[in-house]
Structure formats: structure tokens, C-alpha cells
């Protein structure tokens, strides 16, 4: 049995030393800077004074680009740390018994792995990218609150240390133990990495004595504060700091996504904060929130997932924003269906708060409540699918350039389709009851969190590397790396879906021998992902000093298809001002896809509205029908190869009060798919943003309310039913009117400002 602390400590130290070694070696050989993170100088050598001033600069900076880079560096480091956990987990699974780590260590590994990746890797990296490019994209000078921005970042390192202190203390304890007797350093030997799972379920999380759990809760609390602060800053920046000519109607898609992500974070994280405090009180001050006499363990699950599900959208939306921004640049066409994508993003923002109980289908919650959560969880796939359709349509007849960012975008669409569709299956109660405890769930979410999310982070790093550093990376190595990570992810997580379908339980260090080959395939895939991450890091670091300097102001040839967006205009200006480089002229130009003239909305007469609406509804109905048939095909295949078992679904369906007949099920599925799509397209019709009217808001709210009424109907009749319908309608009207009035106000305010008033 290996010692975890020593192995993990050594792996991290080896990573850190290699990076340091590369830094020192490459820095010696660096060519004079063309531009980028540090100042131009002919000869680079280490002098104490210069290092001092650099350190001082990075510790005190409030510049949005610097803070962006700090966030990205921190997130990457945390990602590598969580990655080391992942490699250790997969190594244990090479053989059926627990022969490398103890089962307890295995539990600790997946606990810290999950928390580190979700909270300290993904969000910081996206906040970093947002910090760097968002102000450039919207023409702002900086973030709205630069100092708060710095505070938001600097809360994160102590938070990470609190969360993962167990490991450091253990390593230290083992070193001290070499010279000191065990009694003298008891504290260092009692602290353990937390092993209760990333969901911190009560009662285990209340009862385990390990003091590291308390530190972890404090660390998570701190990270929540950091996130909330960052979210407020993004919202304020997008609402108030947009430059001339940037309106809601032409705000870039990445900023829309950061806006919605921040909105979700603003509502989700404070709730997590309260839940964490309640858990701390239960552990230390004898309260009983999560004891059976209090709210019970179920209360913790409600609170946790009320944050937890929105959190997955907090992580996922920025990735879709990057996709919508980057993909069109490499297919030479404008993003198809900008308005639909904005709508679907806003829709996801709201819906993400209405599905949390799909993580609790195997608890004793009321079946009628579960049923409504099932309906909304299935519905949430629609806005996601709208995005996918629009990306695919953007590529249609495009002029595709097979660069690393493109490969990552295409791979990301692929992993997201599979990850998303498996999520829809899990949203169906009988399916979930069978698969909740298996690797199927692990496969589902990893196809997103080790699919589209990191792929798009890496795509963004390749796409903006010339802009940030003024240098090129090794593009061949980048293409190879992109293929490698897409390949590795598919190998690993498709395998997990299959062994999950066969029923292998997740979160176990030990498994039956017949699964060994499959587990080994998944582990090799995992190593491939790890290797590709190291290749990426190497390329980024070495190119920073040795890459070829960029000598054009349009490195990606975006002017040729009129996609030279604001951040590149900023880059061009900087190249012109600093290096006297002439603005690059494109060799050829063409318009990249001309969207038809915007419909005129209600103001243009009822006739045109009816026409567009019926055209969209038709298209949507056909799309919904085809999509549902295709999905049925997937289901049938799964049943044929034995991954899905219809008979047990039937039995469970009867148990939870659903009809057991496959014919009724299939019919409902088909009709539902065909009807839901036109409804959504109607609701999400072409009017917002851009042209927005009061009446449109009402129509929108009414349509959505009918969907909610069906989704949440739990068997009322008579007067109660009338009351229910009235409540749904009126509350949606209130919501719709509120939203329309806000947008209309913002628009008139903007119009006033651009006319020089206000
Ligand atoms: C298409 C929309 C999606 C649907 C309908 C969906 C549905 C579900 C369901 C029903 C579960 C519960 C499975 C169980 O524990 O038995 C689940 C788990 C999970 N999903 Fe999704 N999902 C969707 C998208 C996403 C996205 C975008 C992410 C990540 C960014 C994600 C991350 C997760 C995670 C982390 C879990 C596992 C939590 C755990 O440890 O138990 N899902 N999903
Ligand atoms: Cu969820």
C-alpha cells in the first residue's frame, strides 16, 4: 500500500520543479520581446531589483488583464493538482482489489478531486478569460470595480489551501516524524484529507471527527465569497461599462454567457454559504439542522443541490459562450441564430434553478414532486439543444480551417451531445433509479466537464495566445494535442458509460474482476488526457519565450470574412502604436453569411409576425420530430445491445405511478418532442434582443407559463385547479412584465446616452 501524501506531494513537487526548470532555461534563451506580459528588453538576466518589482507588480495589480492572467495561472495550477488526484484514482482502478491505496484513501482522492476541479479549476479559469477579454470585447477600459476584482482573486489561494490543507499537513507530519516523536506532533498526524465525497452528504459529514472537514467548509465558504464578488463585478461591468455602439442587441455571445453565469452564481453561492455554515454549526456547536430531528439528511441534499445544479450551468455556460465566439472564426461564417442562442442562455439561467431534485430521485421525496422535476429536467435539454443545432448550422457549408481551436470546438460539440443526451436519460425517474449509483452518471457528467469545458478553455488559449503574448505557439504540436485530448476523453468516458450501463457501482476502490479490461481501457484513456494536458502546458510555457513573434495585426485572417472583432481591433491598435506595424489588409474579402433582414416585430403589423411565427413553428416541429425519432433510435439500439433494460423500467415505472406500457411511453416521447419544440421556438421568437415591446413580453410569458403549468401540475381539481392556473399565469406575467420593462428601460437609457443626453 503506497503512502498517498508522499506520492501526491512528490508528483506535485516534480510538476513545480519542471515548470521552474523550463522557466529558468527558456528565459535565458528568450529572444527580445515583441510584446506581451513583460517589458521589452534586449538582454534578459536575473537581477534582484527587477524580480522584486515584478513580484510587487503581480501582488498589487488591479489591471483586468493582469488579474485575468493570475486567475488563469491559479486555475491551471489547481487543475493540475486535481488532475494528479484523478491519475491516482485511475491507477488504483487498474486492478480489481484495492492494492495501491486503501479504500479510505481512494474515497479521499475522489472527494478532493471533485471539489478542486469544480470550484478551483473551472470557475477561476473562466473568470480569468472573462477578466482578460470581456472588457476588450465590450469596449470597456477595465472591470467596473478593479480593486474588488483583485480582492475576489486573492481570496482564492487561501481558500484552496484551507480546503486541501490535510495533504500538506500530512506531508509535513511525515517529514517531522523523521526527527520528532509522534506525541510531539500529534496535530500533524491526526489531520486527514476529507473522504466524505464532494457532495458532503449528511449524516457522514456531520459525524466524521476529522478536523480537516471544518477547514474545508471554511475554505469553500471563502471561495463562495470570492465567486459572488466576481459575479457582481461581471454583471456591473456588462450592464454599465459597455463602450459606444455596444448594445444588448449586438453584445457578443461570450459576454451574454458571462452575464447569465454571474447571475446564476449570485443566487446560488450565497445559499451554499448558508448551508456550509449550518453544517459547521452542526459539527461544532451542537445544532441539529441535518440530524433526523432537525431537517434531516434530506435537507442537506436539497440545499446542496439547489446550489449544485445551477453550479453545473455556471461551469458550462462560459464554455458555450466561447464556442459561439470561436467556432464561427474558423468556419468563416457568422454565428447562426444569435437571438436563439441568447434566448436559450437566458432560459437556461432560469431553468437551472428548477431541476435540483433530479439528484434526489432515489430518496424518499414525494413522487409527485419528483415527477415535476423530471418534466423540467427533460425540458432543460431543449435550450441546450438549440445551441447545438445553431453551432452545427454555423458549420454547414462553412469554409472550415482545421486548426487546433477548430478541432477542439468540433470535439466539444461531440462530447456535449453525448453528455447532454445521457443527462436527459438520467432525468427520467425509472432510468435514474437504475443508474444513479453507477458509472453511467460519472460518464454523463465527465463528457461535459472533461469534454466541452476544458476543450473550450484550451481552444481559447490557442485562439488568443497571439493576442496575449504577441507570439505564436507550436501550431503542429497544438493540433496533435487537441486530437489527443478529444481522443482520450472519448475513450475514457464512453467506456465508463458502458460499464455503468452494465451496472458497475461508482465510488468504489474495489470491483468485480470481469470489469478489469474495461477499467484498464478507461485508465489508459485517462493517462492520455493527462499527457495532453502536460503537452499543452509545455507548449504554452516554452512559446512564451521562444515562439515566433507575431508580425501581422490580423493573425487569424479574420478580416477576410468581416469577423475582425473588438478584441482584435484593440490588438491592432496596440501593434500600430507600439511597434509601428501597418494594419494588415486582407487578400480577399467576402461577407460571412448574411442573415435575412430582422423581422419587424409587432410594430411591423400583425401579418408579418404571424408569418414568421408560423414559419418558425413549422421548422421547429419538423426538427423536433426528427430529433425525437433519432433519439428513439439511440434508445432502441441501447435496448438491443442490452445496455438498457425495458422490462425493469416498466416495473419501476409502475412502482412510481407512471404508465408501464412502452407504446404509451414512446408515443408520449414523440408527441412531446414534436410539440415542445414549436412551443419553445414561438416563445423564444425573433424579437429579443433588438426589438422589444411590451406585448411581446406578455406573449412570451403566457406561452412559458403553459409549459410550467403542465410541468408542475400535481393532480389538483376544481377550485384548487383554477387557483393553480391563475397563480401560474399571473406570476409569469409579473415576471414577463418585469423583464420587459427592465430591458426597455435599459434600451431607452442607452438610446438617450448615445444621443448625448442622460
Ligand atoms: C442536458 C442537460 C442535463 C440533464 C438533463 C442532466 C441530468 C442529470 C441527472 C438527472 C443527474 C443525476 C444522476 C444521478 O445522480 O443519478 C445528473 C448528474 C450530474 N450532472 Fe447532469 N444533466 C445535464 C447537464 C449537465 C451539465 C451541463 C453538467 C456539467 C457541467 C452536468 C453535471 C452533472 C454532475 C456533476 C452530476 C453528478 C452529481 C453527482 O456526483 O452525483 N450535467 N445530471
Ligand atoms: Cu443536475
Query: What local confidence, expressed as pLDDT, does residue 613 receive?
Result: 58
- At 683 the pLDDT is 52
Query: Of ligand 1's atoms, which has the minimum distance to the CA of residue 316?
Result: 30
pLDDT of residue 237: 96
Ligand 1 atom 33: residue of nearest CA? 445
Q: Say how many Å lie between the CA of residue 566 and the centre of ligand 2.
A: 35
> Residue 294 has what pLDDT?
64
Q: What is the pLDDT of residue 579?
A: 83
Backbone phi and psi for residue 586, each to the nearest 5 degrees, phi listed first: -70, 150
For 438, the 3-state DSSP assignment is: strand
The confidence score (pLDDT) of residue 43 equals 46
pLDDT given for residue 610 in this prediction: 58
| Closest C-alpha among 601, 598, 621, 597 to residue 609 | 601
pLDDT at 605: 45
* Set of cell numbers at residue 75: 486555475
Which residue owns the Cα nearest ligand 1 atom 22?
423
- Find residue 549's DSSP bridge partners: 471
Tell me how far apart the alpha carbons of residues 497 and 63 are, in angstroms, rounded to a whole number. Answer: 44
pLDDT at 600 (0 to 100): 41
**What pTM was computed for the model?**
0.82
Which of 236, 319, 230, 310 has the alpha carbon at shortest distance from 267? 310
Please identify every stretch of the chain with a pLDDT value under 50, giving residue numbers as ranges.
32-35, 37-40, 42-44, 594-606, 684-692, 757-758
Ligand 1 center to 350 CA (angstroms): 17
The verdict on the CB of residue 426 being under 6 Å from ligand 1 is yes
Give the number of the atom of ligand 1 that is nearest the alpha carbon of residue 381: 1
Residue 686 has a pLDDT of 47
Ligand 1 in contact with 311 (CB < 6 A)? no
Closest C-alpha among 650, 466, 620, 484 to residue 549: 466
* CA–CA gap between residue 375 and residue 712 (Å, rounded): 8
Calculate how far, in angstroms, residue 504's C-alpha sits from the geometric centre of ligand 2.
21
pLDDT at residue 713 in the model: 64
Position 682 scores a pLDDT of 57
Q: What pLDDT is stored for residue 531 in this prediction?
A: 97
Mutate to test the pocket of ligand 1, among 359, 389, 429 (most ligand atoms within 8 A of CB): 359
Say yes or no: CB of residue 370 within 6 Å of ligand 1: no
What pLDDT, on the 0 to 100 scale, is given for residue 295?
67
CB-ligand 1 contact for 315 (6 Å cutoff): yes
Residue whose entry in the numeric block shows the C-alpha cell 432515489: 362
Residue-level pLDDT at 673: 65
Indicate left, alpha or beta for 397 from its phi (over 0: left) and psi (-120 to 50: alpha). left
Q: Determine the pLDDT at residue 719.
A: 79
261 lines ligand 1 (CB under 6 A): no
pLDDT for 478: 96
Q: Copy the grid coordinates of residue 726.
A: 391563475
Beta bridge partners of 505: 438
First to last CA, the chain: 71
Nearest to 440 by CA among 487, 486, 495: 495
| Cα–Cα distance measured from residue 276 to residue 115, given in angstroms and rounded to the nearest whole number | 14
Amino acid at each position: 500500500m503506497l503512502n498517498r501524501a508522499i506520492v501526491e506531494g512528490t508528483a506535485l513537487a516534480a510538476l513545480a520543479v519542471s515548470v521552474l526548470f523550463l522557466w529558468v532555461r527558456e528565459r535565458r534563451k528568450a529572444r527580445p520581446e515583441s510584446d506581451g506580459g513583460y517589458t521589452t528588453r534586449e538582454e534578459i538576466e536575473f537581477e534582484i531589483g527587477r524580480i522584486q518589482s515584478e513580484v510587487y507588480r503581480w501582488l498589487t495589480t488591479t489591471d483586468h488583464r493582469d488579474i485575468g492572467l493570475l486567475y488563469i495561472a491559479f486555475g491551471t495550477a489547481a487543475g493540475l493538482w486535481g488532475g494528479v488526484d484523478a491519475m491516482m484514482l485511475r491507477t488504483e482502478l487498474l486492478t480489481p482489489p484495492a492494492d495501491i491505496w486503501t479504500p479510505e484513501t481512494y474515497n479521499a482522492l475522489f472527494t478532493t478531486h471533485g471539489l478542486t476541479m469544480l470550484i478551483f479549476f473551472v470557475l477561476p479559469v473562466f473568470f480569468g478569460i472573462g477578466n482578460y477579454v470581456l472588457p476588450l470585447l465590450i469596449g470597456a477600459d477595465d472591470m467596473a470595480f478593479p480593486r474588488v476584482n483583485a480582492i475576489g482573486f486573492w481570496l482564492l489561494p487561501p481558500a484552496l489551501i484551507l480546503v486541501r490543507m490535510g495533504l500538506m499537513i500530512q506531508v509535513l507530519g511525515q517529514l517531522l516524524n523523521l526527527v520528532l516523536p509522534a506525541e510531539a506532533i500529534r496535530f500533524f498526524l491526526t489531520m486527514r484529507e476529507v473522504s466524505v465525497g464532494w457532495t458532503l452528504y449528511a449524516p457522514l459529514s456531520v459525524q466524521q471527527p476529522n478536523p480537516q472537514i471544518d477547514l474545508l467548509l471554511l475554505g469553500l465558504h471563502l471561495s463562495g465569497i470570492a465567486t459572488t464578488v466576481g459575479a457582481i463585478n461581471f454583471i456591473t461591468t456588462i450592464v454599465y461599462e459597455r463602450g459606444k455602439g455596444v448594445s444588448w442587441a449586438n453584445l457578443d455571445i461570450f459576454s451574454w454567457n458571462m452575464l447569465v453565469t454571474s447571475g446564476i452564481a449570485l443566487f446560488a453561492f450565497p445559499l451554499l454559504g448558508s448551508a456550509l455554515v449550518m453544517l459547521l454549526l452542526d459539527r461544532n456547536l451542537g445544532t441539529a439542522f441535518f440530524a433526523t430531528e432537525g431537517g434531516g439528511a434530506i435537507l442537506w441534499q436539497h440545499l446542496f443541490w439547489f446550489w449544485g445544479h445551477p453550479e453545473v450551468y455556471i461551469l458550462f455556460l462560459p464554455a458555450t459562450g466561447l464556442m459561439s465566439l470561436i467556432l464561427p472564426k474558423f468556419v468563416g461564417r457568422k454565428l447562426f441564430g444569435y437571438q436563439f442562442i441568447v434566448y436559450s442562455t437566458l432560459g437556461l439561467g432560469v431553468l437551472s434553478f428548477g431541476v435540483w431534485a433530479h439528484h434526489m430521485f432515489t430518496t424518499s421525496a414525494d413522487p409527485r414532486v419528483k415527477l415535476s422535476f423530471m418534466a423540467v429536467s427533460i425540458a432543460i435539454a431543449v435550450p441546450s439543444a438549440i445551441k447545438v443545432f445553431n453551432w452545427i448550422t454555423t458549420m454547414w457549408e462553412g469554409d472550415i480551417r482545421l486548426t487546433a481551436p477548430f478541432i477542439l470546438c468540433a470535439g466539444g460539440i461531440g462530447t456535449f451531445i453525448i453528455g447532454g443526451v445521457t443527462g436527459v436519460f438520467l432525468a427520467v425517474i425509472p432510468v435514474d433509479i437504475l443508474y444513479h449509483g453507477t458509472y453511467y452518471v460519472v460518464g454523463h457528467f465527465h463528457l461535459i466537464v472533461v469534454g466541452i469545458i476544458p476543450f473550450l478553455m484550451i481552444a481559447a488559449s490557442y485562439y488568443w495566445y497571439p493576442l496575449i503574448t504577441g507570439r505564436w505557439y507550436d501550431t503542429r504540436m497544438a493540433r496533435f494535442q487537441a486530437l489527443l485530448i478529444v481522443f482520450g476523453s472519448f475513450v475514457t468516458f464512453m467506456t465508463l458509460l458502458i460499464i455503468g450501463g452494465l451496472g458497475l457501482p461508482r465510488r468504489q476502490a474495489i470491483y468485480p474482476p470481469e470489469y478489469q479490461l474495461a477499467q484498464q481501457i478507461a485508465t489508459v484513456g485517462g493517462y492520455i488526457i493527462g499527457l495532453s494536458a502536460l503537452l499543452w502546458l509545455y507548449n504554452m510555457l516554452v512559446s512564451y519565450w521562444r515562439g515566433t513573434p507575431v508580425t501581422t495585426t490580423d493573425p487569424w485572417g479574420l478580416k477576410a470574412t468581416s469577423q475582425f472583432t473588438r478584441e482584435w481591433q484593440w490588438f491592432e491598435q496596440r501593434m500600430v502604436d507600439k511597434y509601428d506595424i501597418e494594419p494588415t489588409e486582407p487578400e480577399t474579402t467576402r461577407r460571412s453569411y448574411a442573415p435575412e433582414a430582422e423581422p419587424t416585430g409587432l410594430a411591423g403589423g400583425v401579418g408579418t409576425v404571424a408569418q414568421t411565427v408560423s414559419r418558425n413553428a413549422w421548422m421547429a416541429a419538423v426538427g423536433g420530430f426528427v430529433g425525437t425519432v433519432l433519439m428513439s433510435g439511440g434508445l432502441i439500439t441501447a435496448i438491443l445491445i442490452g445496455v438498457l433494460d425495458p422490462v425493469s423500467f416498466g416495473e419501476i415505472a409502475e412502482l412510481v405511478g407512471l404508465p408501464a406500457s412502452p407504446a404509451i411511453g414512446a408515443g408520449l416521447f414523440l408527441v412531446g418532442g414534436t410539440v415542445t419544440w414549436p412551443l419553445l421556438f414561438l416563445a423564444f421568437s425573433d424579437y429579443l434582443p433588438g426589438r422589444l415591446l411590451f406585448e411581446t413580453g406578455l406573449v412570451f410569458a403566457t406561452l412559458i407559463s403553459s409549459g410550467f403549468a403542465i410541468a408542475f401540475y400535481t393532480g389538483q381539481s376544481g377550485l384548487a385547479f383554477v387557483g393553480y392556473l391563475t397563480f401560474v399565469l399571473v406570476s409569469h406575467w409579473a415576471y414577463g412584465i418585469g423583464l420587459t420593462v427592465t430591458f426597455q428601460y435599459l434600451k431607452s437609457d442607452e438610446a438617450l446616452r448615445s444621443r448625448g443626453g442622460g
